[in-house]
Amino acid sequence: MLLSGANICYYLLDKGHLSVQSFIDGDFSVHFSPSRNNNFIINKAASNPLFVKQARNQDWEKQETLRHEATCYWLANNEPEYGNLKRFLPQYFEYDYINHILVLEYLQHAVPLDEYYAQAGVFPAVLAEKKAELLASYHKDIFTKIKNGRSFSLFKQSIPAVFMLVGNRQKFWTDGNNAAERQMLELINDEPQFTRLVGEVKESWQATSLIHSDIKAANFLISINASHGSATDNLRLIDWEMADIGDPCWDVAAVFQMYFISWIYSELNDGPGSNNPQSSMYYHKLLPAIRHFWDSYCGHMNYSAGQAEENLLKTMNFCALKLIHTCFESTTTSEHLPPSSAKMLQLSLNMLKSPEEAIQTLLDMELYVK
């Protein structure tokens, strides 16, 4: 069954997610919001709106990733080991395995974090703290609880695709025969240290935690106070299609990357600027949030000083790879390498060459553990 605006009401009635009374009262509405999947917002302005996601017909890959996301929601709601995660997710109602349909709560008065940052122009410490608490909720203890349990086999323990830049697997990135992607690979291969450093970072990967694997600002939803339009600390994380058992520093690196990319685009939008963040007024708005996020995360993870510095070094290296991955994602339809991608590539190389210097320059922090 493929859902549409015409038949979704009958499907939800049959499943018990809608009442006949809502139709009698004239409260029923459907908003179609397609993306990688077919998405529907049901009764958007009512008291109990729904978000319905269905994999597109005959798309096996989308069906599989949606099933995996639904499994994560089910685990958070039904398995005690995953219980800490539940409060950071939209409410889960059902997954229809036959028709590949996921039914969740629709979060009213919530906006993606990238939209909030763009509109507000500020990076509140309370949101940095909440992001740290959220990540630690599934990084800290879940792995030790599930590694010998039945749910562990649900995760593939794959390594990120960007590691395919090492060795003979670079063709993975050129299957689309895109000119901008080829230009990026030429730049990477022209720098002898690039692939060697990526290979060294690959060796540091440790699968010791549940990770989201697709952390980005658009996947965080922040609630907005309906009465006066201000942000609350009510943060949710969505799109768990790529969740896996992996290295927790990969998710942390993605949060760092969110801030760094915001700075890069601000520099490009404001015209030619310095590559040194210390001279950027915009970056000085970001820095307290980055520092607060990291300090809060270390606190929630109960890191010792040595553990904090060891993981910060790894996080900076992973962040460099996240920047490379973002470059490839941003060039899928381009014939020329965008200026933002060139700047990201240069920043990633600098970070890989000397993560210690990157920590000092980007975070204004010194490392003491060698």
Number of alpha carbons in the 13 Å side-chain half-sphere of residue 152: 13
pLDDT of residue 294: 97
How large is the average pLDDT for residues 9-32?
88
Beta bridge partners of 111: 222
Report the Cα–Cα distance between both ends of the chain, in Å, rounded: 59
The model's pLDDT over 38-94, given as tens digits with 9 standing for 90+, comes to 999 999 988 889 999 999 877 889 999 999 999 999 999 999 999 999 999 999 999
- Measured CA to CA, the distance from residue 44 to residue 106 in angstroms comes to 8
- Measured CA to CA, the distance from residue 213 to residue 242 in angstroms comes to 6
- Measured CA to CA, the distance from residue 347 to residue 336 in angstroms comes to 19
The model's pLDDT over 135-183, given as tens digits with 9 standing for 90+, comes to 999 999 899 999 989 999 999 999 998 888 766 555 555 555 677 777 7
How large is the average pLDDT for residues 6-34?
88
97 pLDDT more than 90? yes
224 pLDDT more than 70? yes
Number of alpha carbons in the 13 Å side-chain half-sphere of residue 122: 7
Cα dihedral across residues 264, 343, 365, 308: positive or negative? positive
Instruction: Tell me what percent of the residues of the chain surpass a pLDDT of 70.
Output: 90
Please give the torsion angle defined by the CA atoms of residues 64, 234, 264 and 279, in that order, rounded to the nearest 10 degrees: -160
How large is the average pLDDT for residues 205-230?
85
Q: Are 255 and 217 in contact (CB under 8 A)?
A: no
Q: Please choose, from the candidates 105, 71, 103, the residue with its C-alpha nearest in 3D space to the C-alpha of residue 88.
A: 105
Confidence bin at 296 (pLDDT 50/70/90): very high
- Measured CA to CA, the distance from residue 273 to residue 124 in angstroms comes to 25
Of 198-212, 263-277, 290-304, 337-351, the one with minimum mean pLDDT is: 263-277
Provide the whole-model pTM: 0.91
184 pLDDT more than 90? no
The model's pLDDT over 108-135, given as tens digits with 9 standing for 90+, comes to 889 999 999 988 888 999 999 999 999 9
Please give the torsion angle defined by the CA atoms of residues 76, 82, 84 and 89, in that order, rounded to the nearest 10 degrees: -30
Confidence bin at 230 (pLDDT 50/70/90): low
How large is the average pLDDT for residues 328-337?
72
* Both structure tokens of 75: 């685990």
Q: Are 162 and 324 in contact (CB under 8 A)?
A: yes
Q: Are 69 and 102 in contact (CB under 8 A)?
A: yes
Residue 56: how many other CB atoms lie within 10 Å: 15
Of 342 and 323, the one with more pLDDT: 323
pLDDT of residue 188: 80
217 pLDDT more than 70? yes
- Going by the DSSP 8-state scheme, the letter that residue 370 receives in this structure is -
Of 71-80, 230-239, 317-326, the one with minimum mean pLDDT is: 230-239
The model's pLDDT over 239-282, given as tens digits with 9 standing for 90+, comes to 999 999 999 999 999 999 999 998 888 877 665 555 667 667 77
How large is the average pLDDT for residues 206-229?
86
- Measured CA to CA, the distance from residue 254 to residue 321 in angstroms comes to 10
pLDDT of residue 334: 67
Confidence bin at 190 (pLDDT 50/70/90): confident
∠ Cα 298 76 56 (to 5°)? 110
pLDDT of residue 370: 42
Instruction: Tell me what percent of the residues of the chain surpass a pLDDT of 90.
Output: 59
| Rounded (10°) angle between helices 125-139 and 248-269 | 150
226 pLDDT more than 60? no
The length of the chain is 370
Q: Are 27 and 43 in contact (CB under 8 A)?
A: yes
Residue 318: how many other CB atoms lie within 10 Å: 27
